[in-house]
């Protein structure tokens, strides 16, 4: 018989739902897991006070956090290799598409004209709901009633789907009008063979689609370009400016003329070693797993791959563009592990998990973990002002400047080859400590003492990470992702 969600287990809505799903004898697939909590977590009072005091001292100083990206383009060959120093940049110059030599860094750059492009289109919420209940053979009217029972707006989902589809068609048509060979694929069809076939990858969706598209591109000379196909509902921080959503031919012409800049976004690579590990990843987006199924998927994977003990570090087949999160699958359970930063001593810790991000990811989850609010800053400054030796003109303007100064210090350029780690809600007592709650690092090593933990890459790819497993997390400039910057 059909299993129904608990929130539809009684009353007339339940009867209606049963009527809709009656033809099926298969068990209903689980709802997708909730996304990561992006709540801002307040640091300890002492550390926050020190940080805010430092931010106050620098509140009136001008800061330039982001370095200029490299500006070279290529066609006939691949884009030029990333620079050794992230601050170098120069303007692109146009060139014959038949050029086969890499442009020099000192000048003589060329435009970029790909011959084959793969367009990776996101799965809309409307498509997801269709796929989720496809086993029941629902008609459109049935789906509409089902979504209404769940409190979802069928018309709204359908409208967003149509907007996305129209913008994807615009991108594909624009490419084909330029005699570019195009493959349009969804998540399930996007694989390594497709990536090898293409000269460039276009992610048509939002930031999540961009992360998906980037995850399978290990060639640092293959550009990945993001297009926001629903700007009203998606931030699209990793995508081209919104105006190119509706005028993609303009973007192509700028690529041809070399009127753009390459940006080499640094990525994190991961090594696993130790006992009880499984280097085979689980695709969380594809599985749409509940916590129970997530664990089962990892267990099944371990039986399929007998390499439960790896004495030498094993390089995992993914690169992280945003962040790596390590923690227990059950969020209410404390994560127990040992950590070593930049070759330092191992330290036992318990916390709600740890986040390690790149410069790209410093504006994402990591920022929301560490940012402070005006209220916290104001209360700390009031305490600071209570000391006679400290004279501060406490007002809203100062509070805002200090808040902004501290929060901006959490951000750094996507091209800088360094990581930023954050320990979420560390537990400090006579057994466990947290000498550094956050900070920049070149290498972070984690030894798991967890019961049912995972190492999640960019929110979409998960690796089992339980007691005995050791992860080495670092940045190698060879892994930099080649992306494109266009002017507004």
Q: What pLDDT sits at residue 183? A: 97
Condensed to tens digits (0 to 9), the pLDDT of residues 236-246 reads: 999 999 999 99
Q: Does 31 score more than 60 pLDDT? A: no
Q: What is the pLDDT of residues 257-290, one digit of tens each?
A: 999 999 999 999 999 999 867 888 888 876 553 4
Residue of higher predicted confidence among 234 and 424: 424
Q: Select, from the ranges 132-136, 280-284, 474-478, the one with the highest average predicted confidence (pLDDT).
A: 474-478
Question: How far from the centroid of its chain's Cα atoms is residue 214's Cα?
Answer: 10
Q: Which pLDDT score, from 0 to 100, does residue 462 have?
A: 92
Q: Which domains does the chain have, with CATH numbers?
A: 116-265 (3.40.50), 268-360+414-479 (2.60.200.30), 367-408 (no CATH)
pLDDT in tens, 4-21: 344 334 444 444 444 444
Judging by DSSP bridges, how do beta strands 200-205 and 116-121 pair with one another?
Answer: parallel
Contacts of residue 283, defined as CB under 8 A and 6 or more positions apart, other chains included, come to 460, 461
Over residues 40-51, the mean pLDDT reads 45
What's the pLDDT score for residue 386?
Answer: 83
- Alpha-carbon gap, residue 166 to 173, rounded angstroms: 10
pLDDT score at 57 = 45
Backbone angles phi, psi at 223, to 5 degrees: -70, 145
Q: Does residue 78 surpass a pLDDT of 80?
A: no
The pLDDT score that the predictor gives to residue 276 is 67
Q: From CA 30, how far away is CA 122, in angstroms rounded?
A: 20
Cβ neighbour number for residue 348 with a 10 Å cutoff: 14
Reported as a pLDDT band with limits 50, 70 and 90, residue 122 is very high
Whether residue 260 contacts residue 238, with contact meaning beta carbons closer than 8 Å, is answered with no
**Tokens representing 415?**
């091209």
Mean pLDDT value of segment 120-137:
86
Q: Which residue's structure tokens are 């360094």?
A: 418
Is residue 10 a contact partner of residue 337, using CB atoms and an 8 Å limit?
Answer: no
Q: Which of 285-294, 355-364, 411-420, 421-430 has the lowest mean pLDDT?
A: 285-294
Q: Kindly tell me if the per-residue pLDDT of 184 is higher than 90.
A: yes
Residue 308 pLDDT: 53
**Residue 423 scores a pLDDT above 50:** yes
Q: Which of 16-25, 231-240, 249-258 has the lowest mean pLDDT?
A: 16-25
- Confidence band of 298 (pLDDT split at 50, 70, 90): low
Closest to 461 (Cα-Cα) out of 151, 243, 212, 262:
212
Give residue 67's pLDDT: 36
Evaluate if residue 65 carries a pLDDT over 50: no
Span 210-238, mean pLDDT? Answer: 94
Q: What is the share, in percent, of the chain residues with pLDDT greater than 90?
A: 56
Choose the weakest-confidence range: 93-107, 109-123, 177-191, 343-357.
Answer: 93-107
CB atoms within 10 A of CB 45: 12
Mean per-residue pLDDT for 98-114? Answer: 49
3-state SS record for the chain: CCCCCHHHCCHHHHHHHHHHHCCCCCCCCCCCCCCCCCCCCCCCHHHHHHHHHHHHHCCCCCCCCCCCCCCCCCCCCCCCCCCCCCCCCCCCCCCCCCCCCCCECCECCCCCCCCEEEEEECCCHHHHHHHHCHHHCCCHHHHHHHHHHCCCCHHHHHHHHHHHHHHHHHHHHHHHHCCCEEEEECHHHCCHHHHHHCCEEEEEECHHHHHHHHHCCCCCCCCEEEEECCCCCCCCCCCCCCHHHHCHHHHHHHHHHCCCEEEEECCEEEEEEEECCCCCCEEHHHHCCCHHHHHHHHHHHHHHCCCCEEEEEEECCCCECCEEEEEECCCCCCEEEEEEECCCCCEEEEECCEEEECCCHHHCHHHHHHCCCHHHHHHHHHHHHCCCCCCCCCCHHHHHHHHHHHHHCCCCCCCCCCEEEEECCCCCCCCCCCCCCEEEECEEEEEECCCCEEEEECCCEEEECCCCEEEEEEECHHHCEEEEECCC
Higher pLDDT, 94 or 144: 144
**Can you say how many angstroms the Cα of residue 192 is from the centroid of all Cα atoms in its chain?**
20
How far apart CA 337 and CA 348 sit, in angstroms, is: 6
CB 402 within 8 A of CB 55: yes
Q: Which has the higher per-residue pLDDT, 301 or 204? A: 204
Cα–Cα distance list, 118 to 74, 88, 111, 286, 483 (Å): 18, 30, 19, 20, 15
- The answer to whether residues 434 and 349 touch, using CB atoms and an 8 Å cutoff, is yes
Q: What is the mean pLDDT of the chain?
A: 79
Report pLDDT for 290: 42
Give the pLDDT of residue 185: 97
Answer for the pair 110, 254: CB distance below 8 angstroms, yes or no. Answer: no
Q: Work out the pLDDT band at 82, boundaries 50, 70, 90.
A: low
The separation between CA 424 and the C-alpha centre of its own chain, rounded to angstroms, equals 18
Q: How do residues 339-388 score in pLDDT, each as one tens digit?
A: 999 999 999 999 999 999 999 999 999 999 999 999 999 999 888 888 77
- pLDDT for 96 equals 34
In this predicted structure, what is the pLDDT of residue 275?
A: 82
Each residue's pLDDT tens digit, 186-204: 988 999 999 999 999 999 9
Task: Check residue 137 and give its pLDDT.
Answer: 79
């Amino acid at each position: 018989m059909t299993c129904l969600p608990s929130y539809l287990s009684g009353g007339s809505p339940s009867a209606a739902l049963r009527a809709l799903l009656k033809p099926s004898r298969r068990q209903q697939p689980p709802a997708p897991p909730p996304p990561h909590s992006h709540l801002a977590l307040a640091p300890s009072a002492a550390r926050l006070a020190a940080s805010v005091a430092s931010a106050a001292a620098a509140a009136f100083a001008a800061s330039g956090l982001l370095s200029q990206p490299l500006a070279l383009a290529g066609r006939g060959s691949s884009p030029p290799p990333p620079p050794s120093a992230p601050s170098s940049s120069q303007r692109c110059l146009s060139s014959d598409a038949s050029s086969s030599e890499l442009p020099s860094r000192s000048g003589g750059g060329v435009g970029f004209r790909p011959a084959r492009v793969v367009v990776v289109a996101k799965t809309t919420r409307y498509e997801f709901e269709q796929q989720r209940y496809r086993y029941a053979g629902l008609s459109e009217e049935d789906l509409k009633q089902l979504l209404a029972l769940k409190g979802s707006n069928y018309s709204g989902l359908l409208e967003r789907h149509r907007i996305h589809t129209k913008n994807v068609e615009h991108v594909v048509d624009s490419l084909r009008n330029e005699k570019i060979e195009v493959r349009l694929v969804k998540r399930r069809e996007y694989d390594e063979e497709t990536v090898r076939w293409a000269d460039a990858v276009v992610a048509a969706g939002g930031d999540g689609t961009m992360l998906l598209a980037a995850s399978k591109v290990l060639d640092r000379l293959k550009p990945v370009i993001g297009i926001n196909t629903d700007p009203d509902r998606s931030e699209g921080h990793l995508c081209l400016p919104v105006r190119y959503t509706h005028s993609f031919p303009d973007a192509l012409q700028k690529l041809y003329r070399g009127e753009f800049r390459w940006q080499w976004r640094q990525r994190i690579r991961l090594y696993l070693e130790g006992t009880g590990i499984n280097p085979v990843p689980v695709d969380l987006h594809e599985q749409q797993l509940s916590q129970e199924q997530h664990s089962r998927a990892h267990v099944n994977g371990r039986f399929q791959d007998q390499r439960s003990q790896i004495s030498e570090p094993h390089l995992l087949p993914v690169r992280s563009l945003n962040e790596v999160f390590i923690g227990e699958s059950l969020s209410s359970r404390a994560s127990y592990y040992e950590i070593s930063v930049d070759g330092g001593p191992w330290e036992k810790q318990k916390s709600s998990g740890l986040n390690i991000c790149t410069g790209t990811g410093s504006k994402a989850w990591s920022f929301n973990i560490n940012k402070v609010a005006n209220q916290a800053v104001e209360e700390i400054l009031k305490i600071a002002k209570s000391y006679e030796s400290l004279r501060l003109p406490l007002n809203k303007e100062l509070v805002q400047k200090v808040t902004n100064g501290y929060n901006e210090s959490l951000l750094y350029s996507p091209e800088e080859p360094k990581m930023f780690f954050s320990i979420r809600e560390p537990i400090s007592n006579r057994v466990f400590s947290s000498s550094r709650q956050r900070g920049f690092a070149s290498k972070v090593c984690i030894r798991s003492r967890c019961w049912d933990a995972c190492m999640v890459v960019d929110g979409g790819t998960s690796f089992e990470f339980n007691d005995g497993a050791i992860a080495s997390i670092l940045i190698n400039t060879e892994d930099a992702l080649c992306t494109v910057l266009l002017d507004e």
